[in-house]
Structure 1
Amino acid sequence: MHKTNTVVARLPETMRSGTIAGAILMLAVMVSVFWSQSVAARGLPDFTELVEENSSAVVNISTTSEPVNRRSGLHGLPFDERQLEQLPPFLQEFFSGPNSPFGGGPGAQQPTRSMGSGFIVSKDGYVLTNNHVVEGADEVVVRLNDRREFSATIVGTDPRSDMAVLKIENADDLPVVRVGSSKELKVGEWVFAIGSPFGFDYTVTAGIVSALGRSLPSENYVPFIQTDVAINPGNSGGPLFNMDGEVVGINSQIYTRSGGFMGVSFAIPIDDAMSVFRQLRDKGTVARGWLGVLIQEVNRDLAETFGLKRPRGALIAEVMPGSPALAGGLQAGDIVLEYNGEEVELSSDLPPKVGRTLAGESARLTVLREGKEIELDVEIGELPEDGQISQSPANNSRGSSASKALGLTVEPLTPEGARSAGVESGVLVTNVERGPAFEAGVRSRDIITEINRQRVGSLKEFRQVVKNLPEGRAVSVRVVRQGRAIYLVMRP
């Protein structure tokens, strides 16, 4: 100790003071780093208690689908094993061999097994999951966190929302989740999921709400919650929790190019899911509101042609015959701006709003028609199983008409063509050359029913409308293509 003090005492004064200052600086830096890490840690959510409280109500679902134990004969007529044995050997091989087109090979007789997730919503054993988890299943087994297993019955399914309701019997002390409200969700808030990705039971993943009200091509009636929570095969049907430990969604789909998680996941909002659950539990089916229109997005060019200051709303491309929309006075070319006082910013906003409306209820729609906003009261109907409704064909004059200004040739639409396309009248595009029509997206075999908001039901009307088109200004063109009506923007 004495030697150490002596050495220190003999150091130059400048070195001694510099060493002390450096030590103080280093200490300050270390304190700053530890303090910032502590603050950062305190700023991140802690999921431990939430997971402990809610894991018991999350279940693993395994399904078994037995192969169809029947072989089809000629013309689709079934026959049994005894009849098969009476056939010549080469026919037995054809109908039941390993390479049989009728599925008679050994591989076709193996049961199909799949796995997913779900959660218990009531003490009497109701479980929610995805329809695609149990679709086609002959046996459904629900396994709890405490390793209890129960056979479950499928109460009902709703493919449109990808929802399924299961029921387990003779179970005591069932844990249940707390159901929250998806309406309270905000973009950017923390959420977490519990499920069984790839069969790894009770895996917890977390992230934030990336977007709300997402519309997917396959699900028009579900305004999905988009998150960046890691969801993989096996997570389907599992719950999405908020930081209050409440279920706010059902993990349903992912966007992927690899088959696995890529940062974009979609969950069914719990408000919509509980509505489907109550209907399936009480009635076994789901009824949705139906307006009876085909809609499309309003882009910048369409907004200009229809007199909107900015793109918004849902453009009605077609009103189905016999539909509530037709009875309520809606027309093709109307742009729905509000539904029951709620703004319709995107076309995808409209179907979920209509779907949540009970059949028989009246809805007030604010629509833009010919540059003016009007209000219509429409009595909503019930979404039919088969939306194909035939329309009456129209008679047309014969001949054809070419327009050099537009770069296309049209001819009258035959009654058979009108019936096949589901339109009353129009003209059939037979040729499209380079020009305004081609640039707008008009193609051969399209049926033009309207130009510049004016009806085109015959060659005479087509010529008259084209003759009076303004030069250099965008106009709308309504075409029917493969049974679907769309609006295009053309600049003559």
Structure 2
Amino acid sequence: MSSILQKHRTAALVGAALIVGAASLPFALDTSSAHASAASDAVAGVVAPHGSFAPIVSADKPAVVTITTTMKASDAGSDDNGSPLDDQFRQFFQNHGRMPQQAPEGRSSPHPKALGSGFVISADGVIVTNNHVIQGASDIKVTLDDGTELPAKLLGADPKSDLAVIKVQSPKPLATIAWGDSDNLKLGDQILAIGNPFGIGTTVTAGIVSARGRDLHSGPYDDFIQIDAPINHGNSGGPLVDSSGAVVGINTAIYSPNGGSVGVGFAIPSDQAKAIVAKLEKNGSIDHGFLGVQIQPVTSDVADAVGLSHPEGALVAEVSDGTPAADGGVKSGDIITGLGGQAIKAPRDLTRLVADLSPGSMKSLTVWRDGKTVDLSVTVGGSDIGQKQAAAGENGQAHEANQPSIGIGLADLTPDARQSLNLPTGATGAIVASVNPDKPAAASGIQPGDIIVSVNQQPTRSAKDVQTAVAAAGKSGRKSVLLLVERAGTKTFVAVPFAAA
């Protein structure tokens, strides 16, 4: 995403649900230049099998619906872009120095309408859509492909996966669409997106799979399919179908510098969605698993610093007190390499596995600690016992070196320093007083005012402790040293390579 962000400084990633004021009611068409620009981004060069997509559209379109909701007054206006999903994505872009687009005009009504799409999965009226389409709704209405309007009730919703299930009562069986196999999707495969962009009516767009496994840091289930088929506001919740007409994704968000499609859209994979939808249809909600750790990637420098042969796993930066991880013996500095017999190659693997676990289940946990593998047992908690989810952060850059010098000046953590930094009386460590801009510590993100809490997983109580430990790591032949750094109340491991003196 970095190259995209550099090219589009004002771009934003937003949930593709359309929010309109009560005065402009649900099927108003915005003909501004931002929206009109989407027409110029039509996909070129996509060739339909047998010369036409008509057979697929004819079979699937009757099962695609428009969803209109009236939002509660307490929820109206609480979000510039109209959905909790947008808040998550906005934070992602703010963290990268980018600001989201401005909200659409006409949002001053205390009861705005939200417009999205959905698709029918059973003839008795069960419909799948995005959570952000129906979040905060006081009333949900479904418009079928033939124009029939039906009231709908919410069966279940899950904000973490951004999925929701609603149901309508119809006097006759409804047309349905079948789930497909998203795991079989390959880059370049043809796909169709069906939905109701801007409320103009059911629309079909064609494109290809542009990328798989996109992680947008919006939640534990991030594994988006990126597509270039144009989707716009109002497409949220609509189906993404393959060349056989089966649902392989749920259109959810767009990346846009102007509010319209620029050919960068994102869909939730069907193989992930259908399992969650089944749980929501049965139980109404999902209590996700919870461990209580903050984690980050294992870089080559981190792996070298702790003696791990390959840079893989999830490095535990902090363990929250009273959580399943703490009760199970997980410690800061552990590298989690396995959970329940499944390998953990990256932090994202752990967050997904944990989110899918049932609270109360006991699982084996494999960690790398003090140069050896340690097996632990944890009883998974529920999401109701804590709000912190395992979150990956990226720190450090790779450098090659062979002499023990990282380029920092240190000072003891005195009582006055603790008071000025609002630290507890018992806080220990060393303050980074200065950073040489030409040395590896600066390149790795160390800043003056940081507190070094440990070196190579050994606690430090003073500047001398840090100096001694760093020197010992260099003399032992290691290429980098692992620092546990506290900044603004958050602890993060940073692997700093040694540089030539």
Give the CA deviation at 1:459. Answer: 5.9
Question: For residues 265-297 of structure 1, what are the alpha-carbon distances to aligned partners after superposition, in whole Å with 9 as ceiling and x for unaligned?
Answer: 221222332333333333332111112211112
Alignment check: 8 A CA contact 1:338 1:366 kept? yes
Give the secondary structure class of the aligned counterpart of 2:282.
helix
Of residues 429, 433, 441, the one that matches 2:435 is 433
Deviations 1:317-366 (A, max 9, x none): 12222222233333222223343444433322221121112222233444
Q: Distance in 1 between matches of 2:162 and 2:367?
A: 31
Letter in 1 for 2:444: A
Out of 445, 448, 451, the residue aligned to residue 447 of structure 1 is 451
The separation in 2 between residues aligned to 1:145 and 1:155, in whole angstroms, is: 22
RMSD: 3.6
- Structure 2 residue aligned with 1:118: 118
Q: Check 1:430–1:63 CA distance in 2 against 1; reply closer, same or farther (3 A cut).
A: same
Structure possessing the higher relative contact order (Cα contacts under 8 Å, 6 or more residues apart): 2
Q: Deviations over 1:394-433 (max 9, x none)?
A: xxxxxxxxx9963232415799879977998532526223
Output the CA distance in 1 between the equivalents of 2:245 and 2:365.
Answer: 37
Structure 1 residues 144 and 457: alpha-carbon distance in aligned structure 2, compared to 1, 3 A threshold? farther
Larger radius of gyration: 1
2:354 paired residue number? 354
Judge conservation of contact 2:418–2:424 (CA < 8 Å) in 1: no
Q: Any gaps of 5 or more consecutive residues in structure 1?
A: 1-39, 70-105, 390-402
Give the whole-Å Cα distance in 1 for the aligned partners of 2:278 and 2:422: 39
The residue that corresponds to 1:407 in the other structure is: 409
Q: Give the TM-score normalised by structure 1.
A: 0.72
Q: What secondary structure is seen at the aligned counterpart in 1 of 2:474?
A: coil
Task: Please say if residues 432 and 438 of structure 1, whose CA atoms lie closer than 8 Å, have aligned partners that are also in contact.
Answer: no
Per-residue deviation at 1:142?
Answer: 0.7
Identity percentage over the alignment? 38
| Distance verdict in 2 for CA 1:489–1:206, change over 3 Å | same
Per the TM alignment, residue 252 of structure 1 is displaced from its structure 2 partner at its CA by 0.8
Distance 1:157 1:413 in 2: 50
> What is the DSSP-based 3-state SS (H/G/I as helix, E as strand, rest coil) of the residue aligned with 1:254?
strand
Structure with more helix by fraction: 1
Q: Tell me, in whole angstroms, the C-alpha distance in 1 between the residues paired with 2:177 and 2:218.
A: 28
**What residue is the counterpart of 1:206 in the other structure?**
206
Change (3 A) 1:293 1:278: same
Kindly indicate whether the alpha-carbon contact (under 8 Å) linking 1:215 and 1:223 is maintained by their aligned counterparts in 2.
Answer: yes
Seen in structure 2, the aligned counterparts of structure 1 residues 369 and 188 have a Cα distance that, compared at 3 Å, is farther
Residues 454-463 or 249-258, more deviating: 454-463
Are 1:319 and 2:319 an aligned pair? yes
Residue 235 of structure 1 and its aligned partner are, at CA, apart by: 0.8
1:251 corresponds in structure 2 to 251
Q: Give the equivalent residue in structure 2 for 1:8.
A: none
Secondary structure, counterpart of 1:360 in structure 2:
coil
Amino acid aligned to 1:368 = W
Distance in 2 (alpha carbons) for counterparts of 1:406 and 1:415: 18
Partner of 1:155: 155
Q: Deviations over 1:9-40 (max 9, x none)?
A: xxxxxxxxxxxxxxxxxxxxxxxxxxxxxxx9
Residue 56 in structure 1 maps to residue 62 in structure 2? yes
User: 1:468 corresponds to which residue?
Assistant: 472
Aligned to 1:486: 492
In structure 2, the CA distance between the partners of 1:448 and 1:365, relative to structure 1 (3 Å rule), is same
Q: Which residue type is aligned with residue 477 of structure 1?
A: L
How has the CA–CA distance of structure 1 residues 52 and 388 changed in structure 2, closer, same or farther, with 3 Å as cutoff? closer
Separation (CA, whole Å) in 2 of partners of 1:184 and 1:423:
56
Whole-angstrom CA distance in 2 between matches of 1:353 and 1:332:
20
**Cα shift at 1:382:** 1.5
**Equivalent position SS for 2:221:** strand
Instruction: Please say if 1:260 is aligned against 2:266.
Output: no
1:412-427 aligned at under 5 Å gives the runs: 412=414, 425-427=427-429
* Secondary structure, aligned partner of 2:151: strand
Cα separation, partners in 2 of 1:312 and 1:404, compared to 1, 3 Å: closer
Query: CA, structure 1 residues 158+422, in 2 after alignment: closer, same or farther (shift >3 Å)?
Result: farther
Instruction: Name 1:47's counterpart in structure 2.
Output: 53
User: Does the Cα contact within 8 Å between 2:430 and 2:463 map onto a contact in 1?
Assistant: no
CA distance in 1, matches of 2:181, 2:419: 49
